[in-house]
A and B are shown apart, each in its own frame.
Chain A
């Protein structure tokens, strides 16, 4: 899971796909700005997903870049997020009509694009990028993208005012977390917010728990990729499913968990109707936009595990910005210039101006301003501490089953028990690995 799943819009989200090459006979665009100017000017097309924060960043970058390079204009196009968006990106790459540049996930999803065949290497920028991000966009020793956005964490956002009022401390083990939940419930607050109206939000207890898995059995990701480690048979890995079940069985979740949406969850948290919400840290910017003045009211802690000493944060690398091999000539040169701008302090400043930064940058020389929300400061504390953060599993292994969100909804709704769910997910993973044609499956 990453931001790509964010907008589980109401139904087949494929719908508002990006502006594509004009099909014969179709009406095309009305009232929009024209594309290509003449006389040495270059117009670049840039495909991003349609999440409002992403679009703001992309348009901010385009504007600031053109201000510095008046000969190059950048037109932002949008596509849906989630698997529908994946299919659009893959189809456009395979038919050779991708935009001049595009934004897409880093990590295993980016590897699935066959980068050696479809993407232009951009090793020139390697010096400006941090090591973890280079891993996330690297393949065969080459680097294929620059970071678009910030690192984010899969963690628990909590309402500090509610915590203070009930005299609670940030938990570092699962038992402490459950003890807090019992007190919160007694105080009449929903301890844990769940929002299965958007199914992707159900996965945090599993995916955000990966640091704890890695801490308990180092090298788990590698064994997992080789089909040697399983969720059902690794207690630390299965713990995520157990946690989800315990929270439901103890009645710690909000009453409308089955139909509530992300927005409902964020609002509940901001208003203190719910105390804790396991979610991606990037959602803080949405929470603040909808509930002004809550910058310092919402804190963040890593999902607690069995061992307080080894507890730490699971981190997602930023999305990448890539150039397809179909971009050539003047456009390629201009596109590389644009990537260079994005991977520079000026680029970070431009993105930070467009939306609230929700985590550290992956570009050397970019610093977060002091005014970041409390949750981001809490996140930084984990990252600065040696060994207290790990990349999420999807950056360490190409193996990820497509049905995890449905399985999590089942566990979190009491339809399926944790043990059965872990087994079922192992099956789902096996299917995916076989479909990818990985060795050893």
Chain B
């Protein structure tokens, strides 16, 4: 692994009364090296490469042409919208369902252990495995979902082949797969609420709904923030489930920015795909940083 230099590279600590801090800054160093070399350097160089025409054999500086081209990309405008829709649906449902399930799974209910495990189980299956399975279950003609609907007299839509359903269908599968983690975070949040609150509420004769409204909801707020941030970041950045299930189709109707970028990479337009990455990075930052500040400012102490 990395060498551990004996001298501190951090320079003098501001509050330094002691000669050596028990919390030396060189503890940052091993992680910093890995992070800088494999994450920061590529991120910074990507700004340069996004200004070049780059086939794998050579690169040529072309200014901002790639950005112009990327914004003219037909799939991009719809892709921006799809990205936001996808991120909002997935994170919204994960918050609502995750909280609901967590309340249910911390209440007195038969088979609680079984339910907790079964809700979390999809988290363990790989995205590709989930994608393959649901592509088959959602097949418009012979998929289990539509065959079951047919039994009760409903003609199911082409979940993944109908332009108006494809994106939402994939988002729902994403929720199916990810709600377990959201539930887990909420369970942890609810469990850490001190019992005195509930005791006091019981003495006051509060109903279950009042308990939820006045105690669980406000005190589980940090968990809500974690769930929102993690699933929103995931929803904005990821495309692997979309790629496994629809490849952005039919046509461009379930393309998100990340899948548009991947297609440019596939086509061998490396400079263009890198420019797309920079755009995505700016978009995610523009949404997440303010949101994160806002959520932190509303943080409640237990």
Q: Which residues of A contact B (CB under 8 A)?
A: 8, 10-12, 83-84, 86-87, 90-91, 93-94, 112, 114, 117-118, 196, 199, 255-256, 258-259, 402-403, 406-407, 409-410, 413, 415-416, 424, 427-428, 431-432, 434-437
Shortest CB-to-CB span from B283 to chain A, Å, is: 21
- CA gap between A431 and B69 in the complex, in Å: 7
Question: A402 — which chain B residues lie within 8 A by C-beta?
Answer: 263, 266-267
Q: Which residue of A lies closest to B138 (CB)?
A: A259
Is B140 an interface residue, CB under 8 A from the partner?
Answer: yes
Q: Which residue of A lies closest to B262 (CB)?
A: A12
Question: A409 — which chain B residues lie within 8 A by C-beta?
Answer: 249-251
A-B contact pairs, 14 of them (CB 8 A): A10-B135, A83-B268, A114-B57, A196-B161, A255-B141, A402-B266, A406-B252, A407-B251, A409-B249, A409-B251, A410-B250, A416-B251, A431-B272, A432-B267
Contact B266 A87 (CB under 8 A): yes
Contact for B251 among A415, A431, A434, CB less than 8 A: A415
Shortest CB-to-CB span from A241 to chain B, Å, is: 13
Contact B53 A437 (CB under 8 A): yes
Contact A117 B57 (CB under 8 A): yes
Q: Given that A259-B140, A259-B161 are contacting pairs, would A434 and B65 also be in contact in the complex, using a CB cutoff of 8 Å? A: yes
Contact for B243 among A12, A93, A436, CB less than 8 A: A12
Q: Given that A112-B268, A256-B141, A424-B74 are contacting pairs, would A435 and B252 also be in contact in the complex, using a CB cutoff of 8 Å? A: no
Contact for B140 among A118, A258, A406, A416, CB less than 8 A: A258
Question: B53 — which chain A residues lie within 8 A by C-beta?
Answer: 434-435, 437
Contact for A413 among B243, B248, B250, CB less than 8 A: B250
- CA gap between A427 and B73 in the complex, in Å: 8
Shortest CB-to-CB span from B138 to chain A, Å, is: 9
Is B244 an interface residue, CB under 8 A from the partner?
Answer: yes
Q: Which residues of B contact A (CB under 8 A)?
A: 53, 55-57, 60, 65, 69, 72-75, 128, 131-132, 135, 139-141, 158, 160-163, 243-245, 247-253, 263, 265-269, 271-272
Interface centre among A12, A91, A112, A432 (most CB of B within 10 A): A12
Shortest CB-to-CB span from B147 to chain A, Å, is: 14
Shortest CB-to-CB span from A17 to chain B, Å, is: 14
Q: Given that A10-B244, A87-B266 are contacting pairs, would A427 and B72 also be in contact in the complex, using a CB cutoff of 8 Å? A: yes
Contact B132 A199 (CB under 8 A): no
- CA gap between A196 and B249 in the complex, in Å: 10
Shortest CB-to-CB span from A20 to chain B, Å, is: 16
Contact B247 A11 (CB under 8 A): yes
Question: A435 — which chain B residues lie within 8 A by C-beta?
Answer: 53, 69, 267-269, 271-272
- CA gap between A256 and B163 in the complex, in Å: 14
Question: B73 — which chain A residues lie within 8 A by C-beta?
Answer: 431
Contact for A10 among B132, B140, B141, CB less than 8 A: B132
Interface centre among A8, A90, A93, A255 (most CB of B within 10 A): A90
Question: A84 — which chain B residues lie within 8 A by C-beta?
Answer: 266
Shortest CB-to-CB span from A438 to chain B, Å, is: 11
